[in-house]
């Protein structure tokens, strides 16, 4: 579903980190090989930008709902095809991940982060509108569960020190299977059900573990904006399916 290779893996061998050699077109030192102060600075900037992206996403949603734009947007998107909404969600996640791994200049990284935040905010409108209308309190509950889940998975990835790069194959094939199931469900008009949403929550959790491990081991120190973008797409994936479960079981 997303491009989850380490950033810039072209033509030339760079530094050796853990059990993987990172190849780039320009030499760089991965975060894992930096000193403690540099690593702490990278982590602080990465998660600071992640919080900023989440805050920007929240402010955009508040603006759309307070000014009355959310309802017509949701109705338009829901009356066309839910497949378009889901397809847009997947395209944005894939494109954001691609930008995160390919962008080199700060300007392109910030542009990519801003574009993904805006796109995610638009795509989330129908889901948030449904939750606001039919499952009061679901948004806050889903946000809390997402935050707790993300925090717990981050702690596991950091404290364990384990390299979760082995999850890449699972994420690739799992993403393909999920996409096929979504397309089939919409095309033939059947509900994928709560089991699918639970499975996607697990998929998003695996993505967070993989992304956190990948960022802390293999990203160059100047890619903290891209690192936050990568984490943002995974957090939004987790939030989407946690909210879908609250919406499914919390309707009045």
Select the more confidently predicted residue: 128 or 185.
Answer: 128
Q: What is the average per-residue pLDDT within 124-151?
A: 91
Q: Which of 69-83, 119-133, 201-215, 236-250 has the lowest mean pLDDT?
A: 69-83
Average pLDDT over residues 46-68: 94
Of 231, 146, 214, nearest in space to 9 by CA: 214
pLDDT recorded at residue 13: 28
> Quick one: pLDDT at residue 81?
65
Tokens of 111: 């542009």
| CA distance linking residue 8 with residue 23, whole number of Å | 7
pLDDT band at residue 29, thresholds of 50, 70 and 90? low
pLDDT tens readout for residues 207-242: 899 888 888 888 888 888 888 988 998 899 899 989
The mean pLDDT of 51-75, rounded to a whole number, is 93
Cβ neighbour number for residue 109 with a 10 Å cutoff = 23
Residue among 195, 210, 200 nearest 177 (CA): 200
Instruction: Express each pLDDT in 168-205 by its tens digit.
Output: 777 777 777 777 777 776 666 666 677 877 888 888 88
| Average pLDDT, integer, range 51-73 | 94
| Helix 106-134 × helix 36-66 angle, to 10° | 50
Model pLDDT, residue 101: 66
What tens digit of pLDDT does each residue of 88-111 get?
Answer: 666 766 666 676 667 677 788 888
In this prediction, residue 57 carries a pLDDT of 96
| Environment class of 66 (CB within 10 Å of its CB; exposed 0-12, middle 13-18, buried 19+) | exposed
Confidence of residue 159 (pLDDT cuts 50, 70, 90): confident
How many CB atoms are closer than 10 A to CB 123? Answer: 22
What residues pair up with 20 in beta bridges, in sequence order?
17
What are all long-range contacts of 85-93, with beta carbons under 8 Å and residues at least 24 apart?
A: 85/123, 85/126, 85/127, 86/182, 86/186, 88/119, 88/123, 89/120, 89/123, 89/240, 90/1, 90/179, 90/182, 92/116, 92/119, 92/120, 92/123, 92/233, 93/1, 93/2, 93/233, 93/236, 93/237
Residue 148 is predicted with a pLDDT of 95
Contact criterion met (CB below 8 Å) for 219 and 109: no
Nearest to 45 by CA among 217, 222, 219, 213: 222
Mean residue pLDDT of the chain comes to 78
Distance CA 9, CA 204 (A): 24
Least confident of 66-75, 109-118, 153-162, 165-174: 165-174
Q: In 3D, which of 242, 249, 233, 239 has the Cα closest to residue 115? A: 233
Averaged pLDDT, 147-158: 91
pLDDT the model gives residue 11: 30
Query: What's the pLDDT tens digit per position in 16-28?
Result: 233 333 334 445 6
């Amino acid at each position: 579903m997303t491009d989850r290779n380490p950033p810039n893996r072209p033509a030339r061998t760079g530094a050796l980190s853990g059990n993987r050699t990172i190849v780039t077109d320009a030499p760089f030192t991965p975060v894992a090989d930096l000193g403690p102060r540099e690593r702490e600075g990278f982590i602080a900037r990465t998660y600071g930008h992640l919080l900023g992206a989440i805050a920007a996403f929240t402010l955009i949603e508040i603006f759309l709902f307070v000014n009355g734009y959310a309802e017509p947007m949701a109705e338009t998107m829901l009356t066309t095809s839910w497949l378009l909404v889901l397809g847009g969600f997947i395209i944005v996640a894939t494109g954001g991940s691609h930008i995160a791994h390919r962008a080199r200049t700060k300007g392109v990284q910030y542009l990519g982060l801003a574009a993904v935040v805006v796109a995610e905010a638009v795509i989330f409108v129908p889901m948030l509108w449904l939750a606001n209308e039919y499952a009061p309190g679901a948004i806050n509950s889903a946000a809390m569960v997402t935050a707790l889940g993300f925090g717990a998975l981050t702690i596991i990835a950091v404290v364990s020190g384990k390299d979760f790069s082995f999850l890449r194959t699972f994420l690739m094939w799992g993403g393909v299977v999920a996409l096929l199931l979504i397309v089939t469900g919409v095309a033939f008009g059947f509900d994928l059900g709560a089991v699918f949403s639970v499975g996607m929550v697990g998929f998003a959790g695996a993505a967070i573990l993989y992304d956190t491990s990948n960022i802390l081991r293999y990203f160059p120190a100047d890619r903290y904006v891209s690192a936050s973008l990568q984490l943002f797409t995974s957090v939004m994936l987790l939030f989407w399916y946690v909210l879908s479960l609250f919406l499914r079981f919390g309707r009045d």
